[in-house]
Amino acid sequence: MAVEYRPKIVGFLCNWCSYAGADMAGTSRMSYPPNIRVIRVPCSGRVEPLLVAKCFQQGADGVLISGCHPGDCHYTEGNYHARRRFALLHSFLDYLGIARERLRVEWVSASEGQRFTQIVSDFTRELAELGPRSEG
């Protein structure tokens, strides 16, 4: 019996905004697909390409990085650095043969639980269509 492909998503959520937003989705009993595995980080600026690449190496089909909206970073400027970093990482991963759609960078605030569920649903659906990562 063939194993059904279920996308594996690793989500790096910043503690102050995005993780709180995801938490709000939970406390409000909003539904979203269970494919995402959440890793809480202090700030989206803490996320480095090494972590993203390691996720893909270990079998992730997609990686989500979510932080405070630019201008609202709890540490003032962490997400500005993240923004620069990940603007480049998209096209670099694509160049290495990892489709750029597999990396998603979003800005989700603590009150945007609904938006978080939407992002995860959309991302899961897109990855299901894209196929498992080993095939590109």
Partner 1 sequence: MDSELIQQIQNQARDLLESGAVKGIIGYERASDGLTARPFFAYEPSAVERLIFDETCTHNLVKYLLDKKNEKMAIVVKPCDSRAINLLLNEEQIKRDMVFIIGVYCPGVVETAWNRKGQTQQARCQTCELLKPVVYDFLAGQEPVRRPEAELYSDILEMEAKPVAAKRAFWVEHFGHCIRCYACRQVCPGCYCPECFAEQLDPSWVGIRIAPKENELWQAIRTFHLVGRCIGCNECERVCPVDIPLSLLNRKLEKEVKELFAFEAGLSPEEQPPFATFKKEEKLGLEE
Could you list the residues that contact partner 1 (CB under 8 A)? 49-50, 53-54, 57, 69-71, 77, 80-81, 83-92, 94-99, 105-107, 135-136
CB of 27 to partner 1, least distance (A): 23
Q: Which is nearer to partner 1, 37 or 100 (CB)?
A: 100
Residue with tokens 């998603």: 104
Give me the amino acid identity at 117: T
Q: Which is nearer to partner 1, 12 or 107 (CB)?
A: 107
CA proximity to 109, closest of 63, 65, 64, 72: 72
Q: Which is nearer to partner 1, 36 or 68 (CB)?
A: 68
CB of 135 to partner 1, least distance (A): 7
Alpha-carbon span 108 to 117, nearest angstrom: 10
Alpha-carbon span 101 to 63, nearest angstrom: 9
CB 68 within 8 A of CB 44: yes
Q: Which is nearer to partner 1, 38 or 51 (CB)?
A: 51
